[in-house]
């Protein structure tokens, strides 16, 4: 049987199962663009993270020094507390804690900082205030509270004081708050 004439392979026709392939050594232009865009995204992410870390480092607050309380606090005694409230000229309620402070030590006190903790009905902290203690002084017409640096408390003296609160939390249980001396300056 005679052999058919040489069959010729037609490589001109392209079908979906035999599409022409790129050579192994060359990448398509689409792949190169993807690689560049990935590189740009990685660089942008690294720059953003670097800027965030730098901002966090430079904008942080320096650590606060822990100052131990003055040992002279033990020489100050608080007593005779009274609470009151009054309406000010704009119609808001202002609250007061009055009492007596006694200096049992041998130095003159020029500043006292009080921490006042108002509790809620569950005994949890509803409001905390830190404010300077002010002594009553007669200005001629009436008694007014003045700073201790204006009217220092000498050794062995007892004086009336006042703490003033512009507002107190609505959750306050209306019991006497906890009072604590947190800082004292003496001379």
In a domain, 77, yes or no: yes
In a domain, 20, yes or no: no
In a domain, 139, yes or no: yes
In a domain, 9, yes or no: no
Tell me how many domains the chain contains.
1
In a domain, 145, yes or no: yes
Q: Which helix (H) or strand (E) segment is 181 a member of?
A: strand 178-186
3-state helix, strand, coil in the chain (%, to 5): 20, 35, 45
SS (H, E, C) 13-52: CCCCCCCCCCCCCCCCHHHHHHHHHHHHHHHHHHHHHHHH
CATH number at residue 148: 2.60.40
In a domain, 179, yes or no: yes
State percent of the chain over pLDDT 90.
45
Query: pTM higher than 0.75, yes or no?
Result: no
In a domain, 40, yes or no: no
The tens place of each residue's pLDDT in the chain, 187 residues long, gives: 555 565 555 555 555 555 555 555 555 555 554 567 888 889 999 999 999 999 888 888 777 787 788 899 999 999 999 999 888 788 888 899 999 999 999 999 999 999 999 999 998 999 999 999 999 887 777 788 888 888 899 999 999 999 999 888 889 998 889 999 999 999 8
Q: Which domain holds residue 98?
A: 71-186
**Residue with the two structure tokens 């002010």:** 134
């Amino acid at each position: 049987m005679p052999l058919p004439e040489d069959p010729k392979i037609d490589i001109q026709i392209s079908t979906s199962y035999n599409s022409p392939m790129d050579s192994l050594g060359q990448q398509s232009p689409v792949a190169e663009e993807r690689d560049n865009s990935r590189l740009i995204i990685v660089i942008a992410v690294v720059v953003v993270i670097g800027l965030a870390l730098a901002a966090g480092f430079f904008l942080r607050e320096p650590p606060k020094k822990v100052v131990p309380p003055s040992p002279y606090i033990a020489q100050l005694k608080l007593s005779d507390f009274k609470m009151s409230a009054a309406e000010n000229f704009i119609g808001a309620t202002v609250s007061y804690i009055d009492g007596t402070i006694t200096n049992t030590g041998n130095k003159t006190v020029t500043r006292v900082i009080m921490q006042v903790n108002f509790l809620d009905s569950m005994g949890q902290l509803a409001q905390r205030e830190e404010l300077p203690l002010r002594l009553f002084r007669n200005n001629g017409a009436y008694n007014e509270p003045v700073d201790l640096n204006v009217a220092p408390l000498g050794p062995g003296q007892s004086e009336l004081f006042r703490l003033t609160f512009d507002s107190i939390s609505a959750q306050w249980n209306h019991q006497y708050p906890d009072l604590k001396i947190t800082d004292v300056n003496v001379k």
